[in-house]
């Protein structure tokens, strides 16, 4: 379990008169994500900016069925709907407006490096002994950023499965690693946008079916060649920056997905 810094109110007691104590409470500072990102304003439809983009990264796993949340810095109906689903999933008032309670929950879920608390960079960079995010078709910075977005979707998937563990057996792969394991030449693993998953407490089919509502445009599971013991999920739609055509690819015949 990761350790997160707790913000506590400081209470100062001052004696005004002999035998009479007056308690002065100094309010705690606004909650913030230690070492990560702090939102400074309430966000709702019509807002735009980097703070909206940071929010979109964290709610991208709460997209509608067969849809995605664009990380474009513009707070439209798509983002508002994803925020509502996030809020509902964590027992918050589901109004689609990202305010202090929504941000407090995000701060609770994330670590100092902006990854969600149940997933880490080391898990997503686990192909062929880890390569440090280099050796792929993108820069290491871009690949690492993609991996963060993937992790937040995985966090949403985990929550939707009742907070039952998901283990990443293969994440980012360098070009050399991908060749070594026999991966497709255009594999999403090359971009940091894919993860192969093994659940605990859930079935592979439960994972594959639930992933359809968590912003994943690529899903392969039981019944698809080579996927009898894990579920592959990816974000090829965002990677291709393609919303004009249907670039969604799902196949898990044994789970009724095809």
CATH of the domain at 105: 1.10.101.10
Least confident of 110-114, 148-152, 214-218, 232-236: 110-114
Same domain, 173 and 193: yes
* Integer angstrom CA distances of residue 181 from 150, 174, 227, 233: 21, 11, 14, 17
Same domain, 103 and 73: yes
Domain edge (last residue) among 114, 149, 176: 114
Domain edge (last residue) among 87, 114, 141: 114
Same domain, 151 and 249: yes
In the structure, what pLDDT confidence band is assigned to residue 32 with cuts at 50, 70 and 90? low
Tell me the H-state helices in 110-139.
Answer: 121-124
- Name the average pLDDT for the chain: 86
pLDDT score recorded for residue 243 = 45
pLDDT score recorded for residue 34 = 60
The secondary structure element, H or E, covering residue 195 is strand 194-199
pLDDT score recorded for residue 33 = 58
Q: Where is pLDDT greater, at 186 or 92?
A: 92
**25 in a structural domain:** no
**54 in a structural domain:** yes
Section 14-38 average pLDDT: 48
Section 44-68 average pLDDT: 97
pLDDT score recorded for residue 240 = 59
pTM for the predicted model, two decimal places: 0.85
**Tokens at 174, concatenated:** 């360098």
**35 in a structural domain:** yes
In the structure, what pLDDT confidence band is assigned to residue 202 with cuts at 50, 70 and 90? very high
Same domain, 44 and 105: yes
Rg value, the chain, Cα: 21
**Tokens at 208, concatenated:** 């594959």
**108 in a structural domain:** yes
Q: Is 227 a catalytic residue?
A: yes
What strand order describes the sheet that includes 231-234? 166-170, 194-199, 231-234, 218-220, 249-251
Same domain, 147 and 193: yes
Same domain, 228 and 134: yes
**202 in a structural domain:** yes
**177 in a structural domain:** yes
Buried b (16+ CB within 10 A) or exposed e, 210-246: bbbbbbbbbbbbbbbeebeebbbbbbbbbbeeeeeee
Within a 13 Å sphere around the CA of 56, how many CA atoms are in the beta-carbon half? 22
Q: How far is Cα of residue 54 from the mean position of the Cα atoms in its chain?
A: 11
**68 in a structural domain:** yes
Sign of CA dihedral 175, 176, 181, 184: positive
Domain edge (last residue) among 114, 136, 160: 114
Same domain, 128 and 152: yes
Same domain, 38 and 143: no
Same domain, 131 and 219: yes
> What's the rounded Cα separation, in Å, for the pair 43 and 49?
10
pLDDT score recorded for residue 31 = 53
Total count of domains within the chain: 2
* Integer angstrom CA distances of residue 13 from 7, 8, 22, 245: 19, 16, 6, 65
Same domain, 95 and 150: no
pLDDT score recorded for residue 197 = 98
Please list, in sequence order, all residues whose beta carbon lies within 8 angstroms of the beta carbon of residue 163, skipping any fewer than 6 positions away: none
**5 in a structural domain:** no
Asked if pLDDT for residue 3 goes beyond 50, the answer is: no
Asked if pLDDT for residue 235 goes beyond 90, the answer is: yes
| Terminal Cα distance for the chain, rounded | 37
Buried b (16+ CB within 10 A) or exposed e, 61-75: bbbeeebbbbbebbb
Same domain, 57 and 162: no
Catalytic residue among 4, 32, 118, 227: 227
Q: Are 101 and 93 in contact (CB under 8 A)?
A: yes
CATH of the domain at 256: 3.30.1380.10
Range among 6-10, 19-23, 195-199, 244-248 with highest mean pLDDT value: 195-199
Least confident of 32-36, 74-78, 89-93, 105-109: 32-36
Same domain, 190 and 128: yes
**What domain range is 152 assigned to?**
118-258
């Amino acid at each position: 379990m990761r350790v997160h810094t707790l913000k506590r109110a400081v209470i100062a007691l001052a004696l005004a008169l002999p035998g009479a104590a007056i308690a002065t409470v100094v309010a705690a500072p606004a909650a913030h994500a230690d070492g990560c990102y702090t939102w400074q304003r309430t966000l709702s439809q019509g807002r735009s900016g980097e703070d909206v983009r940071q929010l979109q990264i964290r709610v991208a796993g709460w997209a509608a069925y067969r849809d995605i949340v664009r990380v474009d810095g513009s707070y439209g109906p798509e983002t508002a709907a994803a925020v509502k689903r996030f809020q509902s999933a964590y027992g918050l008032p589901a109004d689609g407006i990202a305010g202090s309670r929504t941000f407090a929950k995000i701060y609770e879920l994330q670590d100092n490096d902006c990854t969600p608390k149940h997933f880490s960079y080391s898990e997503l960079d686990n192909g062929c002994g880890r390569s440090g995010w280099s050796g792929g078709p993108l820069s290491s910075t871009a690949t690492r950023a993609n991996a963060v977005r993937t992790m937040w979707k995985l966090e949403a998937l985990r929550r939707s499965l009742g907070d039952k563990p998901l283990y990443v057996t293969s994440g980012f792969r360098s070009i050399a690693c991908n060749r070594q394991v026999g991966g497709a030449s255009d594999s999403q693993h090359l971009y940091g946008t894919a993860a192969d998953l093994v659940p605990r407490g859930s079935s592979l089919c439960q994972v594959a079916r639930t992933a359809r509502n968590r912003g994943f445009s690529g899903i392969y599971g039981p019944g698809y060649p080579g996927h009898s013991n894990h579920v592959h999920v990816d974000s090829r739609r965002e990677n291709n920056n393609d919303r004009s055509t249907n670039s969604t690819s799902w196949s898990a015949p044994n789970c009724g997905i095809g």
